[in-house]
Chain A
Amino acid sequence: MALSPSQKPPPPPPTLPGFEHVRRSWNETYQSYAARILPGEYYVTRHDEGVYTTLGSCISACIRDTVLGIGGMNHFMLPATESSEADAWKASSQNSATRYGNYAMEHLINEIMRNGGKRENLEVKVFGGGRILQNMTDVGQRNIEFVRDYLKTEGLRVASEDVGEIYPRMVVYFPTTGRVRVKRLRSLHNNTIVTQETSYINALKTKPITGDVELF
């Protein structure tokens, strides 16, 4: 942040209720604020600011109402299921893994609607689901398929996506314009990102899904 003393950034725009504690910082390149979300979080804004996150195997849906310019981003992952069957997670809606996914998507979409968004005006972009660990199961792929399935069921079209492959991604999304900057990150960051995602997954195991929770 190399601003000369006379050039202080403007104050950040107001947040929607419930998002006051999300960390926001001024970004010189974009000349706007950017709100950072971590695994399990989501953020919606009606102002000209960005939302960003770092994705390893996790998936992120960036959704906005194209007419009002209100929108945001979520960041989640389906936890591992008991069975090792690739299609087990599709089996039933009772499955606890998909419930987390459903909550992540519903919370984001409902927040947009609550602020005046309309389903027919929603534009969706999907990112993440990479394969950055050399383990057996491709959890990233599961996350990608979940989101595609969910959107199809909801009748929402995917306007663009950048998913899969072996790179972690930095994603910065601007709901007012729909513009996205996706940057592949070097492998130096893999372990840090995996650690963040693992903490999140472990937290999910201990957290029951009840009611209206902001962190899933």
Chain B
Amino acid sequence: MANSASDLVKDISGLVTLPDVYLRINQLIENPSSSTEDIAKVVSRDPSFTVRLLRVANSALYGRSSTIDTVPRAVTMIGTQQIRSLALSMSVANSFAGLPNELVSMENFWRHSLLCALASRHLAEEARRCDPEALFTAGLLHDIGELVIFNRMPEQAKEALLIVLDSQDEVPVYEAERQAMGFDHSEVGGELARLWKLPPLLEDCIAHHHDIANAKRFPRETALVHIANIIALMAELDTLNPEDVSPIDPRAWEVTGLTEESVEPAVRQAQEEIIEAEKLFLNEQ
């Protein structure tokens, strides 16, 4: 194979960049002497982001009883780590505008990603002892490697999709990708996360959502995203039959402490929330 996953990511490093507002917030958060006021100031300097942040903070998705009408209040009530996650979630779709492809529409791609984000957040709240906002971002980004592959290696990507269809949809996409090009979208996504120096939690979830046994640093969170990915497919296809989608790795239940009983409510909630979520997170597309 001419390309490796890391070669691919190096190729596109000039075409996709992290959103400015995220980078600035991230820099502040990494600096122990920053205050919430500093972060609020950085956010306020981006008026369109401010508007969108307040809209998200006050949406039904976040179920708040009091209105959040100022940025400092948003930062205090939502939390600085979560503001960073939100900044990334709200702007990352725009980052990929420079990486078009003909194999999947951005609308379909981000809808699946959002469904996974919503399910990840829901499962994180249920599983407890992990950050639902970080899990939302992980779910949203889990398939970004696909966008890189579809843009850089469209012929092999198409071959992979045909392998799936020719197998009566029994060979999973990641396995077909390995057959067609020697690596899969989760590896590519992991490389991109490393290039972008994203938090290790995000990197682990992206890189190992199809091989959760290899998520050494954040096994629980990765397992949640793995389950959420399947839930997102069930929500999309409007089915509760496990035979209609890829199987969930049984180890994911052990690692997360959740059971199959979590599936149905998660599917229904994702279906209910997706319309609102698309408006809030993708409206700049």
Contacts and interface: CB of A to CB of B under 8 A. Distances in A.
Contact of A189 (B109, B164, B167, B170): B164
Contacts, number: 57
B105 interface: yes
Contacts of B239: 184
B48 interface: no
B247 to A, nearest CB: 12
Contact of B169 (A28, A36, A170): A170
A213 to B, nearest CB: 25
B112 A188 contact: yes
B158 interface: yes
A192 interface: yes
Interface in B165-187: 165-170, 173
Interface string A157-186: 000000000010010100000000001111
Contacts of B237: 167, 184, 186
Interface SS of B by simple majority: helix
B111 interface: yes
B169 A185 contact: yes
Interface string B199-215: 00000000000000000
B66 to A, nearest CB: 38
Contacts of B173: 188
B165 A186 contact: no
Nearest to B164: A189
B244 A190 contact: no
A60 interface: no
B244 A183 contact: yes
B233 A186 contact: yes
Q: How large is the interface on A (under 10, 10 to 19, 20 to 34, 35 or more residues)?
A: 20 to 34
Contacts of A110: none
Interface size on B, as a range, is: 20 to 34
Nearest to A165: B238
B102 interface: yes
B165 A189 contact: yes
Given A170-B169, A192-B103, A192-B158, A187 B236 contact: yes
A183 B161 contact: no
Interface string A38-55: 000000000000001010
A105 interface: no
A34 interface: yes
B116 to A, nearest CB: 12
B168 A187 contact: no
Contacts of B108: 187-188, 190
A191 B103 contact: yes
Contacts of A190: 104-105, 108
Contacts of B103: 191-192
B258 interface: no
Interface string A185-210: 11111111100000000000000000
B168 A27 contact: yes
A185 B239 CA distance: 11
B275 interface: no
A5 to B, nearest CB: 20
20 contacts: A25-B166, A27-B168, A27-B170, A28-B170, A29-B170, A54-B165, A170-B165, A170-B168, A183-B168, A183-B244, A186-B237, A187-B108, A187-B111, A188-B108, A188-B161, A189-B165, A191-B102, A192-B103, A192-B162, A193-B165
Given A167-B237, A187-B111, A189-B165, 11 more contacts: A34-B168, A54-B165, A170-B169, A172-B168, A184-B237, A184-B244, A186-B233, A187-B105, A188-B112, A190-B108, A192-B165
Interface of B: 102-105, 108-109, 111-112, 158, 161-162, 164-170, 173, 233, 236-239, 244
